[in-house]
Every structure is written in C-alpha cells, then in structure tokens.
Chains A and B, each alone.
Chain A
Amino acid sequence: MTPARTSITPPQDDPVKSPAPRALNRSLLRRVVRNTLVRIGVGALLAVMALGLCAPWLGTVDPNTGDFMNINVVPGTSGEFTLFSGESVPHIYWMGSDSIGRDIYSRLLYGTRVSLAIGAQVAIVAVLAGTLIGILSGYFRQLDGPLMRLMDAVMAIPGILMAVALVSFWRGGMATVVFSIAITEIPRVARLVRSVVLSVRDEAYVEAARTLDTPTHKILWFHILPNAIAPLIVQATFICAAAILVEATLSFLGIGLPADVPTWGSVMAGGRVQFTERPDVVLFPGLFLAVTVLAINLLGDGLRDTLDPKFNKRAGP
C-alpha cells in the first residue's frame, strides 16, 4: 500500500516516467559519498596510504640498515645516519631507533605498505573464494551439505591459531601469509553469499530466467550475484581490517614474513623487551595499527549503513 503506485487512468495513457537511466546507482553512490563515517574512514585511510606510498620522500632512510653508532636513540634526536655504503647523511630520528640502530620512523612508514597490501590481498582472495563456495552451495543443493560442513570445520578452528599453524607449515613469505589469513575468513564470506543466493534463487525473476532457458552461469552472474555485491563490499572492508591485525600478530610472534621485511608487528616485537624504558617503540606502531584498522572499520560501518539492503529496498516508482 504505498501511496504513489498505480494511477487509475488506463496504463496506455499513463506517461512512462522518465528519470535518467541508472538513477538507482547514482543516487546510491551519492548517499555513500555523503555518509560521515565513510568520509572519515576514507580520509584517514588515504592519509595512511599516502604515508606508505610516499615513504621514500618523507625523510626516511633504508628501514633495514642498522647504524651501530645510533642504538636506542630516543624520539626527536637529530644526528647522522650511516648508510649501508658507509656514507653518512644528516637525519632526524622522529621516533627513535631500535636496539640495532634501525630508524623506527622509516620502518613504520615502509611497514604501512606491507600492512595495506596484506589487508587488500586477503580481502580479495577471501571474497573471491568465499563467493565461489557460497554460490555453489547456495544454488546447487547437493553441494550445500558437504561444502558447508567443510566451512563449519574451518570456522571451528580459532583463526589466529590456524594462521600460525599454516604459516609455520609452509615457507615464509607474502603469499603464504595472505593465504593463511584468507583461509580463516573464507567461511564467513561463503555463508554470507550463500544466504543471499538462497533468498534470491526462488525469486520470480530468477524463475523467469529459467523458463527462458538462460544458462546457469548467466543466471548466477546477471540475476543472482548482483544482489550480493553490496554486502560483499561491506564484508571485504571488515576482512581487510582483521587481516591487518592478524598479520601484525604473526609478525609480532616472529613468524610469517621474512625478517628483512619491515612490519608494524616486528617493530612491536623488538620493543617488547625494553618496554619499561622505551614504551614508545611499541606505542608508535600500535598507533599506526589502531588508526588504520579504525579507519577501515569506520568505512565498513558507513558502507553498511548506506548499502544495507534494508535501506536499499525499492518498491516500485
């Protein structure tokens, strides 16, 4: 009973309304852009990304070179940094140096690249794999039982424990870390997609496509999958944030990425033993981690508010 649906004049006399085509998507995009949470999240995230990308020009030095003359320098000290080649350059230790003389500021900025790359890759891998599994188990009834029990089994193992086990099982490296973290996130995506598929597969327009003899892959691609995109985008942001945290934990434990890759987790691990004298060694990477994860989560919340199907229901003109 929406007051504004059918007019009583015969439909042939009814002028067909003419808003711009694709008005639906444009207005949705406008709503997303206007959301305060999305704005804050995107702003903070862009700032963090810029730090990572522009690291070479932001007064950093090689994050892996230790200057034995400048061990455990306190934040804000200005002095000189001896490069690997033996040459000395003037340098300000904004965040001090660690116990083998590496510049923490440089390590954190370069670590930003690693964290964001891991977050994005895990989100992509988990969404792709989870979507595939979700579609298969939602649309093909006979696959539902086996696939979902497998997902239940994966979910039953604590994510971080699983990642630790997988990383120590394989050779360390970016691909291993991404894959290990992604595996623990796949079941959540699969369940989400499966629930969307189940709610849409019996919609009349899907049945109409079946009577038109539309091949199954086209039904899935054109009629079913578009319904999952909005919740998937939201889920992807949360996975990204979780993956960054898990990667930091793995690095903190000293497993996963090789020692020559600067990460926030490894900086924190280095600061652990001298926490009482130098709490800032743990504090600065913790701050980076917190801001990044918060930014991504805010973005996710904002997207959920605007893209959630509850607010996105369009019941006719």
Chain B
Amino acid sequence: MTTEATPDTVLSVRDLTIHLPRGGDRPHAVRHISFDIHAGEVTCLIGESGSGKSVISQCVMGLLPSGLGVDSGTVELLGENLLAAPPGRLRSLRGTRMAMVFQEPTTALNPVMTCGAQIDELLVQHTDMDAATRRARIIEIFIRVRLPDPPRIYASYPHQLSGGQRQRICIAMATVLRPALLICDEPTTALDVTTQAEILRLIDEMRRETGTAVLFITHDFGVVADIADQVMVLRLGEAVEQGSRDAVFGQPREAYTRMLLAAVPPAVPAPRPPAEIGAVVVLASHLDKTYGASGWWRRSQPVYAVRDVSFQLRAGETLGIVGESGSGKSTVARYLARLHDTNGGSIEVGGHDYARLDRTAQSALRRKIQIVFQDPYRSLNPRRTVGDSIVEGPLNFGVSEAQAWQRAAQLMEQVHLPAHALKRYPNEFSGGQRQRICIARALACEPEILIADEAVSALDVSVQAQILKLLDEIKAAHKFSLLFITHDLRVAGQICDRVLVMHRGQIVEEGSVHRVLADPQHAYTRSLIDSLPGRHFDFGNALLETV
C-alpha cells in the first residue's frame, strides 16, 4: 500500500516537545517528536493510553488543552509554521487545509442541527458559494462517503442515524473542503468491527482519490496493518520506533514494539489442549427478552434483545459469547447474574431452576455466580477502599470479618497486587490493576461460574494480554466455569474452549473456538472474521518466538 505520489510534504513536525502541567506523572507529554507526512500518505501514530499520541494531533490542530504548552520544535503545514500562526489564521486553516475526525461521532456532531445544516455552516464560513451550490456540494460529498439516500440524510438529525453513518457524516464534514491534511483520532474505536472495516476502506478511498495526507491515531495494531504507510510507535511521549509499516511490523528493532506486536492475539488461535470438562452447570433454555412496553391505548411492537437463546455451560469450561453491540450477548450474561429478568425461558444452575427457588436458596446460588464488568473505572465504588470492596461479598454471606480480610490479602497476591494495597482507594490504581481487583472481588465469593462481560475490552493490548493470562491461570487454580462475553473474535480465540456467535438476539453459530474461527459456517460469522482488522497479518504467532 506504499504510495508513489509526489513526495510533497504536507505536514512536517520537527523536534516537537510539549510539556505537561506541573505535578503530572512526567514532565513532558511528548519529547523530540519528528515526522513528515506526504500527500496521499497515511502515517499512523500508535501507542497505548498515556503515550501522548492524541496530544500530537491536538497540537497540530492548535487545540492543545490548557496547561499543556509547546517547549520547542516546529509544526509546518504546507510550509506554514502553525505554532507561530495567530488564532484567526489557525481557525481558517482548520476546515480548509486540515480537518479532524474524532473517536466518538455522537459527541462530535451537534444533536440539535440536521447533518446537512452542520456541513452547510462550514461552507458558509469558508466559501462564498450560494445556497444551491452548497446543497449540491453536500449531497455530492454524502454520495462520496457512501451514505444511502443523501437528501434524507441531509435533513436528518444525528440521533436518527447509526454509529457508522454518523462517522461517515464526520468524515464528509472533514473532507468537504478538500483539506490537505486529515487527522483521524481513533475514528473506529467506538464502532463495531464490521462498521470499522467499512470506515477504514472509506478513509483509504478518500485518500487515494484526493491525495489527502492522513495522520491516523490508533491503539489497534490490526488497523495499522490495514491502513498505514508509515508508522510511529510511541511510548510515554517518546518515539520508540518509526519507519514504513512493513519495516516496523516485519522487522521490529525495539523490544517494546515486539512486545506490543506479540500481545496482539492472532486471527486463528493455536489449538488449546482440551479442557477437563465436567457436568452441565448452567442450562439455559429458550431465553427471551423484549423491550417496548405496551401503552394504555396502543400496543407497541416489542423489540427482541434476546430471542430463543439456549445453551449449556459445563464445569471447568470457558464458553465465549461473541457478538457486536446490540447482539444481546450482555443481556444473556446479565440474566445469568440475576441483574434483570427475562420475559421467557428458564435458567437452571446446578440443576435448580433459579426462578422457582425461595429467597435463601437464591442468595446461596447468587454467591456461586460472579461477574467482572467492562469498565474498570466504574465497577469499583470510588468512595470505598479496595479491601472494603473485596470483603463485601464474603461478609454478606456470613464469613467473619477477620477471615474475610485474611482471604482478601491472599486474593490480592493471587492477582499479583501487593496485599498492603487493600487499604487504598480505586483512584490510585491503573485500569489493568483495577480489573485485577474486580477479579479478586469476584473470587472472594468462591464462585462456580465467573462471567467476564467485556472484561478486557477497555484495556490496552499489553494489559489485555496479561489479564487474559491471569484469568486462565486463576481458572486453573480455582476450577470454575468461565462465561466470556466479548465483541472481539481474536480475544475469544485466546481464552475460550467453545464460542457462541450471537447476532440480533439469536445464536447463529456454535462450536469449538478453533473450528469457528478457522472454518466459519454462518455468513455472519464469516463477515465478522473478514472484517477483523489486519487479518492478513499474522501477529502473535509469527513473533512470539522472537520475544
């Protein structure tokens, strides 16, 4: 995908150093960053959270948050120094010469203006076209970003569109004035994998057609493998490695790059040794969950979140439920954890129909099913110490205070955290550490079934690999069944024995993880696998031995 376009330098960053406010964990957000982007070329900045990649894009756009400032270096857009440009000049450059696409299209668009009007506003500001020309131009760009029925979209409000369509609007808005530089800050992170594939293809097309230079920021190596010409790997604000994509991915020079590449799960997993599988512990039959209450006067059409879902979970097994957002996978997990009721069907846990048990028996059963949530920043009460959170369950189940604390200390060591950290508050821990604490909290109840609801989705790839390893390790030690909910087939391939693929509330495919990934039967599973970013690039497997 290397480009033969004329080597016109669009953006040139030289020796850029930006300082953080006093009292930060390091003095500089980024240090001594230099790179060039040529017309028609995609340069990816890749790094984990806190690496400073977004700060670079904010600096180029002249949108640095207060408290951050440039210490040294130059940023030149088509030969014009942006750091010396007055605010008025920067404003007119934004939109005409450079434009940005953000991560979350929902918040990037104004909810009270129609999509057409928002782009029209931009044209009014930067051009002197008349109303009819502007409208024609907007319809034309909507067609180019492949939005269906452009006149309807023109008059639609953002909330009437899907996430992927909203991101297309953002791209249309960014490219309508044909900027020389397009900055994409994690533009596909909030999207489903199939939508992500379409958006990446669109960005690639736009760059080919118009010769726009693209600065692409992401944490996802798969995306980089698909789209990048040049790559810069950032770590704590410093450029660890930079070069062409093939050089950086094919022969990484630095240990850090190799570690990151090895942490990316491979598209087809290595076959796992068959797990010791015991009796059926969960038997779910014909689960239904509908939304849409019937009113007094009219009965609204019920929306099925889950429809006729049946599955079994056996002792010692890791079962994955894979699906995109809205597929109903979390609804199933939450029903099993008794966080809400279904409208139909039954769940038997250890041979007992949950719904028919009395209060005490339900409570005893509840202890056996624990859950680890997606967002480590919200799943611990910020006002209680980590220790208080971990002993809460055992105390509820009648364990004495001394015993509970003693066990909490052991559990902390099992999840590789120091026991003295029990007295600290969650805000003193990183995301990965918090997720370890959540696992310890779940284990404190000695569960027979652990549900991991997107438990690694919010984590950086290297931390994600460690948490997956920890889950596997702890599962071997504690011998529970694991129900692993994820949107990421690759992650499922790392840890699951068996997977269910869910689509629109129904199970469309079921089988051993190796079989499903290597030889998908259902069209939807195939489309999921085809959409995996960087699927042609063999990540983990090829590089594992080099680490």
- Assess the B337–A211 pair: CB atoms within 8 A: yes
The answer to whether B428 touches A212 (Cβ under 8 A) is no
Confirm or deny: B366 has a beta carbon within 8 angstroms of a beta carbon on chain A.
yes
| A209 part of interface (Cβ distance < 8 Å) | yes
CB distance from A150 to the nearest CB of B (A): 21
Q: Which of A5, A214, A226 contacts B392 (CB 8 A)?
A: A214
Beta-carbon nearest neighbor of A229 in chain B:
B383
* Alpha-carbon gap, A165 to B106, bound state (A): 50
Is A76 at the interface (CB under 8 A from chain B)? no
Interface string of B350-367 (1 = CB under 8 A from A): 000000000000010011
Stretch from A6-14, A66-74, A257-265 at the B interface: A6-14
Q: Is B377 an interface residue (CB 8 A)?
A: yes
Of A17-25, A131-139, A181-189, A290-298, the one touching chain B: A17-25
Of B375, B393, B428, B441, which one neighbours A16 at CB under 8 angstroms? B428
A62 in contact (CB, < 8 A) = no
Q: Which one of A3, A14, A208, A314 contacts B433 once the chains associate, using CB atoms below 8 Å?
A: A14
The residue that A316 contacts in the complex, of B26, B418, B427, with Cβ under 8 A, is: B427
Verify if A317 is at the interface (C-beta below 8 Å from B).
Answer: yes
**Residue B463, interface by CB 8 Å:** yes
Q: Which residues of A contact B432 (CB under 8 A)?
A: 6, 11
Count of B residues near A, CB < 8 Å?
68
Contact pick for B49, options A5, A209, A212, CB 8 Å? A5
Q: Say yes or no: B425 contacts A24, CB within 8 Å.
A: yes
With a cutoff of 8 Å between Cβ atoms, the chain A residues found around residue B55 in the complex are 3
- Taking CB atoms, residues of chain B closer than 8 Å to A207 are 339, 371, 373
The residues of A that contact B377 with a CB separation of less than 8 Å are 315-316
- Contacts A5-B49, A16-B429 given; indicate if A205 touches B54 (C-beta within 8 A): no
A18 partner residues in chain B, CB cutoff 8 A: 424, 428
The number of inter-chain residue pairs (CB within 8 angstroms) is 143
User: Please, how many angstroms separate the alpha-carbon atoms of A215 and B51 in the complex?
Assistant: 42
- With A5-B430, A314-B427, A316-B377 in contact, is A11–B466 under 8 Å at CB? yes
Query: Is B369's CB within 8 Å of the partner chain A?
Result: yes
Q: Tell me whether A156 is interfacial, beta carbon within 8 Å.
A: no
The answer to whether B438 touches A208, judged by C-beta atoms less than 8 angstroms apart, is yes
How far apart are B476's CB and chain A's nearest CB, in angstroms?
Answer: 18
The residues of A that contact B379 with a CB separation of less than 8 Å are 204-205, 208
- B509 at the A interface (CB under 8 A): no
> Once the chains are docked, how many angstroms separate the CA of A204 from the CA of B377?
9
Q: Which of B259, B371, B375 has the largest number of chain A CB atoms within 10 A?
A: B371
With A8-B236, A24-B425 already in contact, the answer to whether A204 and B430 are too (CB < 8 A) is no
Return the CB mask of A89-129 against B: 1 if under 8 Å, else 0: 00000000000000000000000000000000000000000
**Known contacts A24-B427, A316-B430; A208/B373 CB under 8 A:** yes
Asked if A203 is an interface residue, CB under 8 A from chain B, the answer is yes
Distance, CA A231 to CA B381, complexed state (A): 18
Q: Pick from B367, B378, B428, B429: contact of A205, CB below 8 A.
A: B378
Q: Does B43 contact A (CB under 8 A)?
A: no
Q: Does B25 have its Cβ within 8 Å of any Cβ on chain A?
A: yes
| Residues of chain B within 8 A of A214, CB atoms compared | 392-393, 396
Which residue of chain A is the closest to B467 with respect to CB atoms?
A11
Interface flags, A207-236, vs B, CB<8A=1, else 0: 111111111000000110010000000000
Q: Mark A194-207, 1 if CB is under 8 A from B, else 0.
A: 00000000011101
Binary interface profile of B, 402-421, with partner A (CB < 8 Å = 1, else 0)?
A: 00000000000000111011
User: How far does the Cβ of B341 sit from chain A's closest Cβ, in whole Å?
Assistant: 13
**B152 is an interface residue with CB less than 8 A from chain A:** no
- Chain A residues lying within 8 Å of B459, measured Cβ to Cβ, are 6
Q: A12-48 CB contact bits vs B (8 Å, 1 = yes)?
A: 1010111101111000000000000000000000000
The verdict on A211 contacting B460 (CB below 8 Å), with A5-B50, A316-B427 known, is no
Q: Is the CB of B49 within 8 A of A6?
A: yes
* 4 residue pairs, one from A and one from B, having the closest CB atoms: A204-B379, A212-B393, A12-B416, A204-B373
| 6 pairs, A vs B, C-beta closer than 8 Å | A4-B24, A212-B370, A213-B366, A214-B396, A215-B396, A316-B377
